[in-house]
Chain A
């Protein structure tokens, strides 16, 4: 049973298409990164899965049932962007309130608060909480009742690096226990090591879905090699020219290193040529990062896209 399955889903708001032809599914025990510029449709996609809105076209199933059905909703966890709570209540009171609403045991509340690092602050009113603390309370709220599908919108906003690392470790544990997780974030280098698959949205349409290796292949972006010469850069350059057969794009970097951008398919041949020549002292290989891939799919008009609203 998939955590969710969207088939050719579309959604319009005031006749303007917000989502069109979205095909996306998430299996248990998988972390999916959902990326896109502001207004690309990430939040709308999540709201559809949560059952807050109905799609205008296509089919949508969540945990084998219908989105928004209380029996299904009980097994979802959601952390909204910029989560806010009742300022007059303590963290413990708020979490107990939400636990009752979810039909989850109130006894798990102290342990959950402990788990997200709010053990010492659970009796304090949330108006005294920092942004990071509110974020953690929001996370604890999403984890109530051991959800089978967890959706987190910008979960690391306001968290310090240690707390961020804790969060990702926690998500990994949950994934290993079979939870399906959707992660929306703009901090791409932060999430890159933790996601199993990425989906990139622009203007309401899916540009690419897959694991990083597949996305790299699809994007067909060059790999960058940094080479330290043994004797001189000139000798090394000659070797590279030979290995590249006129294909490699050569740039000289500042500190006497050579920087070579090469197609992924030609990488191994080039490496063999360079290593065999004995002219290279050190090599570092830079694969296109999630951020590079993202920029590739979003296109160079990236800034123009930022103006969109959620």
Chain B
């Protein structure tokens, strides 16, 4: 446990030193405040629209940004150490491969969690303080749910980045594959789903369809932040499938947690087989 924390501490220190943590938090705070203030611009006015609309906009932005940041943060976790020559050295120390990877995960995970908490937390506080007729209780719950799911989504993509990082031998390859992962889950997946729905002409089992959304963590994340408002913003596109899901909020949370646990477990197994 001690060595896991030693590795995590170094990662956390690194991201403080190279200003990653501060930069991500700043980006998050700026975006959240921008969306909160100009969210209603489409309807011809400037000002705070509503909590559900703000969270929905934030979540739509989050699915682009969070996976990208997580992948960038973590893609070189193992392959970077290998290229830098320190992986060989680390492996001669009394630390197992699992401990090394878990330490990395703890460090990267804490970096992302802190940045999210600070960035969106500050934005939430600013909204609570500056918007006059906002219902604080609702806002707090929605913000906490948003921050919690954002952190889980980020951890999931950190774990996905590790799957690549423990497998490949060169950093540029890892970067390319990480981008491919982003491309697939953020841009391609929904298109594929929609396309196959149309192409199947309703022959696919209707009970099965909503479950397909569970195959993409970004869809789970969006559902979590939009469905929660009940009759709030309308579910559009493939997300409308989610309205038929029989698993409820707890199920969505569990699915998002699984999207962290499974890739991480896979990365641990693959790392054990890496040749050093």
Interface, chain A (partner B; CB < 8 A): 50-53, 70-71, 73-74, 76, 78, 80, 82-86, 88, 97-98, 100-103, 141
Contact = CB atoms under 8 A, between A and B. Distances in A.
Nearest to B6: A100
- Chain B contact residues, majority secondary structure: helix
Contact of B84 (A78, A84, A101): A84
B90 interface: yes
Contacts of A97: 6, 10
A102 B89 contact: no
Given A97-B10, A100-B6, A101-B6, A84 B93 contact: no
Contacts of B276: 52-53
Interface string B82-95: 00111011111111
Nearest to B83: A84
A80 B88 contact: yes
B84 A86 contact: yes
Contact of B94 (A85, A103, A141): A103
Interface string B3-14: 100110010001
B203 interface: no
Interface in B242-265: none
A222 B84 CA distance: 47
Q: What are the 4 tightest A-B residue pairs by CB atom distance, in nearest-first order?
A: A84-B85, A70-B94, A100-B6, A73-B94
A102 B85 contact: no
B6 to A, nearest CB: 4
Contact residues on B (Cβ < 8 Å of other chain), bracket: 20 to 34
B273 interface: no
Contacts of A70: 94-96
A101 B90 contact: yes
Contacts of A53: 276
A83 B92 contact: no
Given A73-B92, A100-B2, A82 B10 contact: no
B93 A86 contact: no
22 contacts: A50-B91, A52-B88, A70-B95, A73-B92, A73-B94, A78-B89, A80-B88, A82-B85, A83-B85, A85-B84, A86-B84, A86-B86, A88-B14, A88-B17, A88-B18, A97-B6, A98-B89, A98-B93, A100-B2, A101-B3, A101-B7, A141-B89
Nearest to A71: B94
B92 A50 contact: yes
A197 to B, nearest CB: 23
A53 B274 CA distance: 11
Interface in B37-65: none
Contacts of A84: 84-86
A83 B89 contact: yes
A53 B10 CA distance: 27
A101 B94 CA distance: 7
A46 B7 CA distance: 25
B94 to A, nearest CB: 4
Nearest to A77: B92
Contact of B91 (A52, A86, A88, A103): A52
Interface in B197-249: none
B259 to A, nearest CB: 30
Nearest to B84: A84
B173 to A, nearest CB: 20
A76 B92 contact: yes
Contacts of A141: 89
Contacts of A82: 85
Given A78-B89, A86-B84, 4 more contacts: A50-B92, A70-B94, A97-B10, A100-B2
Nearest to B91: A52
Contacts of A100: 2-3, 6
A141 B85 CA distance: 14
B276 to A, nearest CB: 6
Contacts of B89: 78, 80, 83, 98, 141
Contacts of A85: 84-86
